[in-house]
Amino acid sequence: MSTKMMLMASSLTHARPIACAAASAFINPSRLASQPPDLIKWVRREGGFVHHSIKIAYLEEDKPNGPGLGLGLVATDDIPKGSDLITLPDHIPLRFDAKDGEPSTLIDLARHIPEELWAMKLGVRLLQERAIRGSFWWPYIGNLPETYSVPIFFPGEDIKNLQYAPLLHQVNKRCRFLLEFEKLVKNELETIKLDDHPFGGKNIDASALGWAMSAVSSRAFRLHGKKHPDGTHIDTPMMLPLIDMCNHSFAPNAEIVQENNENVLVKVIAGAEIKRDDQLELNYGRLNNDFFLMDYGFVVPSNPYDCIELKYDSGLLEAASMAAGVSTPNFSSPLPWQQQILLRLNLHGENSDLKVRIGGSELVEDRLLAALRVLLSNDKEAVEKHNLDTLKSIASGPPLGPSNEAAVFRTIIALCMIALSHFPTKIMEDESVLEKTVSSTAELAVRYRIQKKSLIIDAMRDFTRRVKLLSEKEPVSAQ
Ligand SMILES: C[S@@+](CC[C@H](N)C(=O)[O-])C[C@H]1O[C@@H](n2cnc3c(N)ncnc32)[C@H](O)[C@@H]1O
């Protein structure tokens, strides 16, 4: 990683007027208001419903996956499955609703935000409300954390400590965007009259923008917003006060339901029986740990959706197949019929998508599996007997025979070994780092990289077991 990137990242940790406080405050992030307003009372006063057996509580639980849970919703009594827990009327969620055709500096600024950073778009809206004295949303905003444990706020050294190139690339990209956007915001607002200033004349720097982007990425939900003329709905990211106090679980006991009711926009119901003192948990989605860390600031241990990303590259595949003892010239010069299949897999050609995944419950991305099966076979007729779906499926057994399948799995094991060798430290060394006293950001970075390495090792184990099973069925040659 370049020094430039570390500098950029660390520059976001500077606290300025509207800003995100230093990364060291992650352990117990305080709220924007020193004495935050009562959010439950506010939601009820505004016509929302909150189940009488719910409270907001500080969860001291020492989670081994991040800086702690912070606040959460907890049941003060047993709640039966199916009960309504929270309902919010339409005017409570905070969204970026540009009125058609109406000129606005905020809309002009939002035009410069790439689609993938949608959280920044809603983030500028949040900053606008944060700057308004007496904003309708202040009871909500005052309850937001002052800091976020996302990598854009890590000191440069701890970004480096993540050790995983695809994530470093994403963090770098976000930091670069924030610094560029800071300049653009300054330019656009330099000569604006105070009355038209979207942030009440306040200075908005990269740190403030990063705070807002993280507040949104860690708390917003995508719901059906306005209707298209054809009746379908536009998915709109919204901040859902109080509902966003629910923490994440892949086995949640609460669910978000969108109503077709004029007065209620969204509600949360008990998806399972909830016992007294249980936390109310929602599923944030089938995300890998890169997204959990970048958007939410924590990692999920043994996350079934975690994976590693590789570039489909002939040099890399050649090296892996050679290490696996199954080398073939087909990776660098595929035969014309093989090339046709690579085209259909979108691994060849102009608009190809060369990012492929290994690990997690999917084990190996289906496109990579099919490509390896095809390239490690010289039997055109045998390949053409199968449709693409069969070639992509790991569950349907070895379509091109056990020895082809074993060669494929060995190549994947070698790819895993190459990926593992790119991490500068071993898991044992990482674990010994965690035994020492380290900063919360260093700890989070080390926990993240341990999870990445563990998933690679798990995938290698799984494929080794599969090779063994295949060799029990039929003696497998090295070729
Ligand atoms: C939607 S908010 C939930 C409320 C939040 N705990 C708070 O204090 O405001 C999401 C944030 O909660 C924390 N969080 C949620 N689920 C978690 C989990 N399973 N493990 C660790 N932290 C979690 C993370 O900081 C995340 O960014």
Q: Is residue 478 part of a domain?
A: no
Asked whether residue 231 falls in the same domain as residue 195, the answer is yes
Q: In this predicted structure, what is the pLDDT of residue 7?
A: 34
One domain for residues 281 and 368:
no
Same domain, 72 and 118: yes
Whole-number pLDDT of residue 233: 74
- Tell me the residue type at 46: E
Q: What is the mean pLDDT of residues 162-190?
A: 96
Instruction: Determine whether 83 is exposed, middle or buried from the number of CB atoms within 10 Å of its CB (0-12, 13-18, 19+).
Output: middle
Ligand 1 near 65 CB (within 6 A): yes
> pLDDT-based confidence at 11, cuts 50/70/90?
very low
For 193-233, the pLDDT digits (tens) are: 998 899 999 999 999 999 999 999 999 998 877 677 777 77
DSSP 270: E
- The residue type of 393 is S
Residues 215, 331 share a domain: no
User: pLDDT grade, residue 67 (50/70/90)?
Assistant: low
Return phi, psi of residue 272, to 5°. -150, 170
Q: Is the CB of 219 under 6 A from ligand 1?
A: yes
Decide: 398 and 372 in contact? Cβ < 8 Å: no
Quick: pLDDT tens for 114-163.
999 999 999 999 999 999 999 999 999 999 999 999 999 999 999 999 99
Q: For 196-206, write each residue's pLDDT tens digit.
A: 899 999 999 99
d(CA 148, CA 110): 22
**Is the distance from CB of 142 to CB of 33 less than 8 angstroms?**
yes
Distance 323 CA to ligand 1 centre (A): 42
- β-strands 254-258, 247-248 pairing: unpaired
In a domain, 79, yes or no: yes
Same domain, 13 and 112: yes
Q: Same structural domain for residues 373 and 277?
A: no
Q: CA 266 to CA 260: how far, in whole Å?
A: 9
Answer whether 312's CB lies under 8 Å from 368's CB: yes
Examine residue 260 and state whether it is found in any structural domain, yes or no: yes
Q: Which residues pair with 266 in a beta bridge?
A: 88, 258
**pLDDT at residue number 63:** 54
pLDDT, one tens digit per residue, over 361-415 is 899 999 999 999 999 999 999 999 999 999 999 998 999 999 999 999 999 999 9
- Is ligand 1 within 6 A of the CB of residue 70? yes
Give, using CA atoms, the residue closest to atom 26 of ligand 1.
296
CATH number, domain with residue 451: 3.90.1420.10
Q: What is the pLDDT of residue 472?
A: 84
* Integer Cα distance of 389 and 399 in angstroms: 11
- Please state the atom number of ligand 1 nearest to the C-alpha of residue 29: 8
Q: Which of 218, 295, 302, 441 to mutate to test the pocket of ligand 1 (most atoms within 8 A of CB)?
A: 218
Across the range 232-253, mean pLDDT stands at 93
The average confidence (pLDDT) of the chain is 90
Distance 218 CA to ligand 1 centre (A): 8
Does 296 sit in the ligand 1 pocket, CB within 6 Å? yes
Q: Are 71 and 56 in contact (CB under 8 A)?
A: yes
Are residues 344 and 233 part of one domain?
no
From atom 10 of ligand 1, which residue's Cα is the shortest distance away?
218
Q: Is the CB of 247 under 6 A from ligand 1?
A: yes
Task: Give whole-number Cα distances, 259 to 16, 284, 440, in Å.
Answer: 41, 19, 40
pLDDT score recorded for residue 151: 97
Tell me how far apart the alpha carbons of residues 204 and 19 are, in angstroms, rounded to a whole number.
8
Q: What is the mean pLDDT of residues 345-349?
A: 96
Pair 211, 359 in one domain: no
pLDDT score of 327? 83
- Specify whether 277 is located in the same domain as 373: no
Q: Tell me the CA–centroid distance for residue 72 and ligand 1, in Å.
A: 8
Rounded (5°) CA angle 269-273-277: 95
58 plus 195 within the same structural domain = yes
Apex CA 141: angle with CA 140 and CA 147, to 5°?
Answer: 130
> How many domains does one find in the chain?
2
**Of 243, 276, 296, which one is at a domain's C-terminal end?**
296
Instruction: Name the CA dihedral angle for 382, 385, 390, 392, rounded to a multiple of 10 degrees.
Output: 50
Q: Rounded to two decimals, what is the model's pTM? A: 0.90
Tell me whether residue 312 is in a domain.
yes
Contact assessment for residue 71 and residue 57, using Cβ atoms and an 8 Å cutoff: yes
Q: Does residue 160 belong to any structural domain of this protein?
A: yes
Give the residue with greater pLDDT, 190 vs 17: 190
Averaged pLDDT, 440-445: 96
The domain that contains 199 carries what CATH number?
3.90.1410.10
Q: Which residue range(s) make up the domain with 387?
A: 308-473
Nearest alpha carbon, ligand 1 atom 19: 248
- C-alpha–C-alpha distance, residues 203 and 18, integer Å: 7
Instruction: Give φ, ψ of 447 to 5 degrees.
Output: -65, -40
3-class SS of residue 111: coil
Residues 279 and 241 reside in one and the same domain: yes
Which of these ranges, 150-164, 172-186, 253-267, has the smallest mean pLDDT? 253-267
Q: Of 270, 296, 322, which residue sits at a domain end?
A: 296
- The Å distance, Cα 280 to ligand 1 centre, comes to 12
Q: Name 222's bridge partners.
A: 237
Q: What percent of the chain has pLDDT over 70?
A: 89
Whether ligand 1 lies within 6 angstroms of the CB of 210 is answered as: no
Residue 301 covered by a domain: no
Q: Would the pLDDT of 171 be above 60?
A: yes
- Whole-number Å distance between alpha carbons of 126 and 141: 8
CA–CA dist 307, 390 (Å, integer): 23
List the single range of 35-49, 62-76, 204-218, 413-427 with lowest mean pLDDT: 62-76
The residue among 66 and 336 whose pLDDT is bigger is 336
Report the pLDDT value the prediction gives residue 12, as an integer from 0 to 100.
54
Structure tokens at 472: 């029990």
Please check the confidence at residue 278 and state whether its pLDDT lies above 80. yes
Say whether both 36 and 143 belong to one domain. Answer: yes
Which of 263, 296, 329 delimits the end of a domain? 296
pLDDT of the residue at 68: 80
Helix (H/G/I), strand (E/B), else coil: 364: strand
What is residue 10's predicted lDDT score, i.e. its pLDDT?
42
State residue 27's pLDDT score: 43
Tell me whether residue 453 is in a domain: yes
366 within some domain: yes
- Determine if ligand 1 sits within 6 Å of the CB of residue 69: yes
For ligand 1, whether the C-beta of 244 sits within 6 Å is: yes
Helices (H) and strands (E) in the chain, counts: 17, 12
